[in-house]
């Protein structure tokens, strides 16, 4: 990514917004494994369903299941809006 190019984060979305996971940023491999185990794989679409009052955690619906993510986990995902 270039210096001016910013990646979109789940926290930039609002409840009801939809997105697609495009990949992962470099980071803790344990978190990445956990995200993969929850079905958060590149190409999967999701809907943001809830955001806690202070923004942490967020809940997304992916493959028909609600998944809560802490900020550190959500920030590891690269996404695009659908």
- Would you write out the chain's pLDDT as a tens digit for each of its 82 residues? 444 456 788 888 999 999 999 988 877 788 888 888 888 999 999 999 999 988 889 999 999 999 999 988 898 899 999 9
For residue 10, whether the previous peptide bond is cis, meaning omega lies within 30 degrees of 0, is: no
At the fourth CATH level, the homologous superfamily of domain 10-81 is Ferrous iron transport protein A (FeoA) (2.30.30.90)
The residue count of the chain comes to 82
The encoded tokens of residue 11 equal 């926290």
pTM: 0.82
Residue tagged 């995200």 (tokens): 35
Provide the residue ranges of all domains of the chain, joining segments of one domain with +: 10-81
């Amino acid at each position: 990514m270039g210096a001016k190019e910013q990646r979109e984060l789940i926290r930039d979305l609002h409840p009801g917004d939809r997105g697609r996971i495009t990949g992962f940023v470099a980071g803790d491999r344990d978190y990445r494994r956990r995200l993969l185990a929850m079905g958060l794989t590149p190409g999967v679409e999701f809907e943001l369903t809830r955001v806690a009052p202070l923004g942490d955690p967020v809940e997304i619906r992916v493959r028909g299941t609600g998944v809560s993510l802490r900020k550190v986990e959500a920030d590891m995902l690269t996404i695009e809006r659908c």
